[in-house]
Copies of this chain bind each other. A is one copy, B any other.
Amino acid sequence: MEYETPLFFHVMEYADRADRDVIDMVSGNPDWEPPEALRDGLREYADLEPDRFEYPPSDGLRELREEIAARRGVDAEQVIVTNGTGEANYLAMARALERGRGDEIILTDPVYPYYPGKTTMLGGTQRFVETDEDGQLDPAVVREAASEETGAIVVNTPNNPTGAVYPEETMEALVDVAEANDAILVSDEVYDHFDLSGTFSSALRYESDHCIVTNGFSKSMASTGLRVGYAVFPEHLIENARSRHMLVNVATTRPGQYAALRSLRETNPAYHEANRELLRDRIAAFTDALDAAGAEYTTPEGSFYVMARFEGFDGSLENVERLIDEAGVAGMPGEAFGDSRGDWFRFALVTPQVTEAASRLAAFFE
């Protein structure tokens, strides 16, 4: 079986090997401080009794599941704590395909490349629906694409790479399309703390038995290396997902769960607001400099990413490598996210050097 390897790690390695200083805007790795309570949780864990180094329950520490459930307004029995949102999406998509209703997975174009990768690995078929220029998804397009072949519809809001935040009407209609076709809506909401528009709407609000919501602490707690995420399943779908989680990973890392729990309990909303403010400032600085460079770009409503286009210079891997070597700025090729963004680059605003990066780009394209 062959399946696509997401390009992130390739580009990061290329940038690491470059013979000059490179501003890393490749991956969605927050560069700001994780919450102090997360650090405290790791310190505290290091001193616990030996029995706290033993397997946690396979589906997660009970207190963490209860804390998540209380915050999301669901029952703790619906929650599996996973090895990051990555595993949560894997479990959700596998569960949707295992139902045997349809092996087609509807994905957006542009798309976060792990979704088509997982689809193929799981034996499903990719079917893409286009979003508009701003990354918004018209539910009517999804409705037309959906059929009895549809196993799942996978969406991400706030969106990577477009920065779109889907409004309530979109989410409601997507739930309806999933239900009408007996398919599963998988809603990846890992950027929920980075809604800059105030229009974010979680799929959980519809309490649909055709919806699985995934999330994690990688972005909201600036700790992508921690690997703690979760999936919220409708009760009738969770049993097989628990088994798969157990058979693949046994359980999710316990020090990470412990630290995430402490951080959830103790981190002030001001922490998240300060990070959003930082992002807003970076977006303004980066897009101002892109204006000066005569580039076309998107202004994100949420998440960390700006997509930019430079005339006569398409968003290929080869051009990404040229920008690394010749401009000292590493982004992702738009073509990695789908055919529709082949002329674009994606820049993750997770470096204090966004203004410098935009200046380097301006100088390169001058």
Residues of A within 8 A of B (CB): 1-6, 9, 27, 29-34, 39-40, 42-43, 45-47, 50-58, 83-84, 86-87, 90, 98, 100, 114, 117-118, 121, 222-228, 240, 242-244, 246-256, 259
Instruction: Point out the residue from B3, B27, B56, B247 that lies within 8 Å of A3, measured CB to CB.
Output: B247
In the complex, what residue of chain B is closest to A98 when comparing beta carbons?
A: B1
User: In whole Å, how far is A273's beta carbon from the nearest beta carbon of chain B?
Assistant: 18
Which chain B residues border A50 with CB–CB below 8 Å?
A: 30-34, 222
**CA–CA, A39 to B98, complex, Å?**
41
A86 and B5 contacting across the interface, CB-CB below 8 Å: no
**CA–CA, A43 to B250, complex, Å?**
25
B51 and A31 contacting across the interface, CB-CB below 8 Å: yes
Which chain B residues border A222 with CB–CB below 8 Å?
A: 50, 53
**CA–CA, A134 to B6, complex, Å?**
47
In the complex, what residue of chain B is closest to A258 when comparing beta carbons?
A: B225
Q: Provided the pairs A50-B32, A53-B34, A242-B5 are in contact, do residues A226 and B248 lie with their beta carbons within 8 angstroms?
A: no
- The 5 A-B pairs at the shortest CB distance, nearest first, are namely A225-B254, A86-B250, A42-B46, A253-B253, A29-B54
Which chain B residues border A55 with CB–CB below 8 Å?
A: 27, 29, 224-225
Known: A27-B55, A53-B226, A227-B250. 16 other contacts (CB 8 A): A1-B240, A29-B54, A34-B53, A42-B43, A42-B255, A56-B225, A83-B250, A87-B248, A117-B247, A225-B255, A226-B255, A227-B252, A227-B253, A227-B254, A249-B249, A253-B253
**CA–CA, A194 to B344, complex, Å?**
55
A249 and B86 contacting across the interface, CB-CB below 8 Å: yes
User: In whole Å, how far is A347's beta carbon from the nearest beta carbon of chain B?
Assistant: 17
A9 and B54 contacting across the interface, CB-CB below 8 Å: no
